[in-house]
Amino acid sequence: MSLRAHESYGQHGLTPVDRLGVWLSKRAIHRHLPSRNDLEVLELGCGYRATQLIALEPKLKRGIGVDFQISPELQTLEKFTFHQATIEETLPKLESESVDVVMLISVLEHLAEPQFVIQSAWRLLRHSGLLLVNVPTWSGKQFLELSAFRLGFSPKLEIDDHKMYYDKRDLWPMLVRAGFKPSQIRLRYHKFGLNLFAAATKNEGDRHN
């Protein structure tokens, strides 16, 4: 069982390092989002307060969040639906081709079956839908472990729960196997090379075999 199997990110507050990371991720997300204001967005592993998903509210027709625990106050928000469960339990219950954007922000590294989750994201996206992924890199591993295990700047529980780190050569083939065409995948390192950000579009003509 995961060390954090019953807790969501941010449930006990965020450290300064975490807050900086969230802010940098928000910038990357907004850089890639379509300019429309009627998006239906699913965030897998949205965190206890769904900070990044809530911040998109002006652009949303509907927001869907999934995590172990969700703040009760969020359940009353009109545009939002939250599933308080594991990602793996929730994904099969969600309708195919039902959302415009799927976000996996600092989540994939915690998952035992990341390929299944990426393939599920492809299934859930409408044509021309967008998958946004943020993951820590192998270069970031040393910094994250120093910050958590020695300096105490980051939650030890979070870093101890990491099952994988990713560079472009790790994440790119996973996206391709899920059905995303190479021409529709953009990968870039950010956060000083400590993280990798992917934006993959489900092409109108794509069909996963």
pLDDT in tens, 136-154: 999 989 888 888 788 877 7
Q: How confident is the model at residue 12 (pLDDT cuts 50, 70, 90)?
A: very low
Residue 2 has pLDDT above 50, yes or no: no
| 151-to-4, 103, 140, 182 alpha-carbon distances in Å | 21, 30, 15, 40
Identify which of 177, 163, 165, 190 has the alpha carbon closest to the alpha carbon of residue 119: 177
Mean pLDDT, the chain, integer: 88
CATH 3.40.50.150 fits 16-201, yes or no: yes
Domain ranges across the chain = 16-201
> pLDDT by residue (tens digit) across 29-86?
988 998 899 999 999 999 999 999 999 999 999 999 999 999 999 989 999 999 999 9
Residue 59: both structure tokens together? 């652009």
- How many helices (H) and strands (E) the chain has is answered by 7, 7
Is the Cβ–Cβ distance between 25 and 40 less than 8 Å?
A: no
For residues 2-11, average pLDDT: 49
Model confidence, pTM: 0.86
Give residue 207's pLDDT: 54
- Which residues are within 8 A (CB) of 56 and not within 5 positions of it... i.e. 6 or more apart? 29, 33, 39, 41, 63
Give residue 116's pLDDT: 97
For residues 82-108, average pLDDT: 96
Give residue 147's pLDDT: 80
Percent of the chain scoring above 90 in pLDDT: 69
64 burial via Cβ count (<10 Å: 0-12, 13-18, 19+): buried
Give residue 61's pLDDT: 97
Give residue 150's pLDDT: 82
Is the Cβ–Cβ distance between 125 and 178 less than 8 Å?
A: no
List strands edge to edge, sheet with 125-136.
80-84, 60-67, 39-44, 99-105, 125-136, 195-201, 185-190
For residues 180-194, average pLDDT: 94
Residue 205 has pLDDT above 70, yes or no: no
How many C-beta atoms lie closer than 10 Å to residue 70's C-beta?
22
Identify which of 112, 128, 131 has the alpha carbon closest to the alpha carbon of residue 172: 131
